[in-house]
Structure 1
């Protein structure tokens, strides 16, 4: 069992295997947790023999011309405590290029040394030939960064700089002194959380938000580590942005091959990183025992937008535009504390599904959690302006997709949830 509360430090390793599709013969095995004598073994100071996970949750991308596949690797056991696996822990929480015929590593890049935030890579690597001539592979991550590499050599397209990060005070934990920070593109969502990020629509709301964070640690630095539920300084955990669900997540993004513009949905939602002993586990500390992110009478305490879509020119690394992914939900617009307040378009912290076509960007708001509405939008790709909206019978649950039949184009998505039966909704274009 994996996750924030693994039952044991002894877990199954996430090896990647290649098979002959005609015969079923096993051709090769790549160890995402390197065996003794393999490249990367030296990055495990302890725990290499017992630690598991570091598999590949997302689909595997490939370049048939190069004969490379690109592995988006998850974190090792456990998600928030690495006291049994000291060291950087290659090849976890990064990307690895592997020869599809032999299983031999071609190159790798680790996004997080010794991941203790559950910020593993959630979606497939994006293979792209950009209009500027670069042949790249990109990873869109929970940390709200897009990492961009030459897909043959693994060289970063823009510098990625190792910068010092804070150490923590959890007993037995090991902390990397630095982490990699991409210099371009800029983050597409929030990183770090301080008092300046609190809602301040009215003096009363701001005062209540300040009161709600008493007893928690705050930090403006993204790689500030988790802390104890009962820390020596009296705090109950760290308030973290982004959360372990992103930033970006499995819904990933969409790239326009003609322009090189990447469209990224993301969410802004606080998480408490708070470690305590799990009596059902042999791991010293686990995450998430009864300490919840603070709220003000049901309101998120972080300034909006709570969900967004960002357009990034991957030729230059420049951000082009950003919009909230939804209108302001009723639970905020009609809140008693906000009567008479002129609110911005807040969006919602959901996994919004997008679909990119030659002429438009289509977007749905995701499941009904957090106030998402059953709405499907057409958006101008160049400006982010909403061109049209239609009501869906139920909320979107899977990513929208498109197909053509008898010369006519259709848009489709799975909808349902919240007690509604799953359905496939299909719409035709004029």
Structure 2
């Protein structure tokens, strides 16, 4: 295509129709509708609705319940879907086939259901789950579409009115995302790559990320790269590809020493992707490269793994990047959508991006330029002794905000309800190495007799895919997190993998389900992003009843530990809503968003909150909705509203 004509074509692709998804501001949150997984393109999870407030929240009752009982195999699997709400309908994913359902917002009745039979592709898929939701686009003239990325890695466009595939999109409504991917010798893309998160829709461009198998014990150092791609929202035509593992001649290629760029995989963006429609930028949170705990086969800093990358949505060209971990060997992927906001910071208006991380940091950057809002320092970190490993001598440390989680491990972190409990915790911990943040993994059978490295936060976080919520009125960022250690132990790959080392070994507990570190084990932290200071922190939920029983202590002697799970958060003009997460209870809390104080507790009738809450207004009533799961029972979507 001739260059000028090509640019004009791409500009037309980015032209923004008058739709809910494209006109929603990155910093103003949602209103009566909830058109995007995170509420708005900046994934603030904020709504300006205020019908439900502190004076009436205690009267909230279940308005309806929608069941996934007939949505394919294993309907009891935990659902992480968050419905969207546009033009009087809810749309969500359900079941292991990742069916798409349209739901009546007042009654919970199913309006239509779409199921795509992937056959063998489903069985091989690396992320067989119900997915986290769908995407929406409209031309503003009656062409309204729902998009879903399936477990087997297809991108499907459906008519929002009736659920029928859009025949002009791809092949009869389906784009095969396995096509036009980089292929590594000896690795089939069939079964190596998929996705769980919905596509980003910026103007007329669909931006699709990827997810691969868990990388603790990869069968090979050779794997499929997690490239990011842009597609025409109308036709499904591939527009561009961004290489998260750069090719020769591309920025970042020289950070992959010994030609490791040629075979290494992963470095995908499996979390949600945020965007700024005015700038025309999409923001990618990327994961570590193959494998999770051993990087000896990929020496160097490894751009663009574990980074934040801003791309021009028209072209897929890199605008800026910031690497949050050099040569990640802790599995501390960037797992949350970058949160975008327009705030006054230190007296100056700023357009910011806040990236929550597993290791407990919030990286706050100018989203136009990628420069830090507060200084970020490169500091020396410990070096390990695993044969063949390459260690980065420094890592970036934000000077503000302070970490929202405890970082690094020391004797001060040992559980100490009683001297006897502390001694037991010390006995477990002394079998491992420990040290400050970024103490690297070690061998399960090291020469010093240790069994690996204790790492805090865990490789699952800290923060994880649940993300946070941001209140644009106050500038408060609400972060759910878990305080728990990981045991980073390495064993030879042997017959399992051609890698020199893979994850192995085991950790320990004081008792089943009882961590040996001090609580709170789950928490919610409020950070004032206008100053960079913490505003408050509260435990997430209450101490599980089994803790006192298993530790053989009087319940009254145990402080509130919170639950070792991350809350699903929603903030409105008046309140902060918080479930207790996938390992939680049937409690759903309504909190004072300025102090964290509890206003009321709602009982979940069908298990625990597993999908992130959303809210909408329909026929004069505000609803709060989220997915739930109970052991052995079909997942549900539950809606609360005030009594009529």
Fold-level match, TM-score > 0.5? yes
2:500 to 284, 308, 319: 284
Q: Is the counterpart of residue 345 in structure 1 residue 557 in structure 2?
A: no
Structure 1 stretch displaced more, 132-141 or 166-175 = 132-141
Cα distance change, pair 336–176 in 1 and its aligned pair in 2 (3 A): closer
Q: Is the counterpart of residue 360 in structure 1 residue 575 in structure 2?
A: yes
The separation in 2 between residues aligned to 1:340 and 1:119, in whole angstroms, is: 35
The separation in 2 between residues aligned to 1:340 and 1:308, in whole angstroms, is: 20
Give the superposed CA RMSD: 1.4
SS at match of 1:333: helix
How big is the shift at 1:298? 5.3
Q: Which residue of 2 aligns with 1:426?
A: 639
The separation in 2 between residues aligned to 1:312 and 1:134, in whole angstroms, is: 17
The separation in 1 between residues aligned to 2:414 and 2:437, in whole angstroms, is: 17
SS at match of 1:332: helix
1:246 to 461, 476, 499: 461
Q: Give the conservation status (yes or no) of the 8 Å contact 1:247–1:267.
A: yes
The separation in 1 between residues aligned to 2:529 and 2:621, in whole angstroms, is: 31
The separation in 1 between residues aligned to 2:524 and 2:551, in whole angstroms, is: 29
Q: Which residue of 1 aligns with 2:335?
A: 122
Q: Which residue of 2 aligns with 1:92?
A: 305
The separation in 2 between residues aligned to 1:66 and 1:43, in whole angstroms, is: 29
SS at match of 2:424: helix
1:104 to 303, 317, 322: 317
SS at match of 1:134: strand
2:430 to 207, 211, 214: 214
The separation in 2 between residues aligned to 1:402 and 1:24, in whole angstroms, is: 31
Q: Which residue of 2 aligns with 1:416?
A: 629
How big is the shift at 1:336? 4.7
How big is the shift at 1:297? 6.5
Q: Is the counterpart of residue 381 in structure 1 residue 593 in structure 2?
A: yes
After TM superposition, the score normalised by the length of structure 2 is 0.65
Cα distance change, pair 39–340 in 1 and its aligned pair in 2 (3 A): closer
Cα distance change, pair 131–113 in 1 and its aligned pair in 2 (3 A): same
SS at match of 2:547: helix
2:619 to 398, 406, 409: 406
Q: How many residues are paired up?
A: 425
2:292 to 75, 79, 92: 79
SS at match of 1:308: strand
Cα distance change, pair 298–407 in 1 and its aligned pair in 2 (3 A): closer
Cα distance change, pair 415–271 in 1 and its aligned pair in 2 (3 A): same
SS at match of 1:172: coil
The separation in 2 between residues aligned to 1:24 and 1:92, in whole angstroms, is: 27
How big is the shift at 1:196? 1.1
Q: Give the conservation status (yes or no) of the 8 Å contact 2:540–2:566.
A: no
SS at match of 2:464: coil
SS at match of 2:462: coil
Alignment of 1:147-162 (within 5 A): 147-162=363-378
SS at match of 1:414: strand
How big is the shift at 1:283? 0.5
The separation in 2 between residues aligned to 1:281 and 1:257, in whole angstroms, is: 48
Q: Which residue of 2 aligns with 1:10?
A: 222
The separation in 1 between residues aligned to 2:569 and 2:459, in whole angstroms, is: 21
The separation in 1 between residues aligned to 2:555 and 2:232, in whole angstroms, is: 66
Q: Give the conservation status (yes or no) of the 8 Å contact 2:511–2:550.
A: no
The separation in 2 between residues aligned to 1:337 and 1:390, in whole angstroms, is: 30
Q: Is the counterpart of residue 44 in structure 1 residue 256 in structure 2?
A: yes
Q: Give the conservation status (yes or no) of the 8 Å contact 1:413–1:424.
A: yes
Cα distance change, pair 11–340 in 1 and its aligned pair in 2 (3 A): closer
Q: Which residue of 1 aligns with 2:277?
A: 64
Q: Which residue of 2 aligns with 1:318?
A: 533
The separation in 2 between residues aligned to 1:291 and 1:106, in whole angstroms, is: 42
Structure 2 gaps of 5+ residues are 1-212
Q: Which residue of 1 aligns with 2:233?
A: 21
The separation in 1 between residues aligned to 2:266 and 2:285, in whole angstroms, is: 13
How big is the shift at 1:341? 5.5
**1:347-394 Cα shifts (integer Å, max 9, x gaps):** 011132111111000111122x3xx21001110011110010121121
How big is the shift at 1:335? 3.4
Q: Give the conservation status (yes or no) of the 8 Å contact 2:222–2:265.
A: yes
The separation in 1 between residues aligned to 2:376 and 2:508, in whole angstroms, is: 31
The separation in 2 between residues aligned to 1:30 and 1:129, in whole angstroms, is: 27
Q: Give the conservation status (yes or no) of the 8 Å contact 1:131–1:259.
A: no
Q: Which residue of 2 aligns with 1:392?
A: 604
The separation in 2 between residues aligned to 1:293 and 1:92, in whole angstroms, is: 31
The separation in 1 between residues aligned to 2:560 and 2:392, in whole angstroms, is: 39
SS at match of 2:309: strand
Larger RCO: Structure 1 or Structure 2 (Cα < 8 Å, ≥ 6 residues apart)? 2
1:33 to 232, 245, 250: 245
Q: Give the conservation status (yes or no) of the 8 Å contact 1:201–1:341.
A: no
Q: Give the conservation status (yes or no) of the 8 Å contact 1:263–1:311.
A: yes
Structure 1 stretch displaced more, 400-409 or 297-306 = 297-306
Structure 1 stretch displaced more, 71-80 or 131-140 = 131-140
Structure 1 stretch displaced more, 184-193 or 297-306 = 297-306
Alignment of 1:168-317 (within 5 A): 168-219=384-435, 221-278=436-493, 279-287=495-503, 289-296=504-511, 299-317=514-532
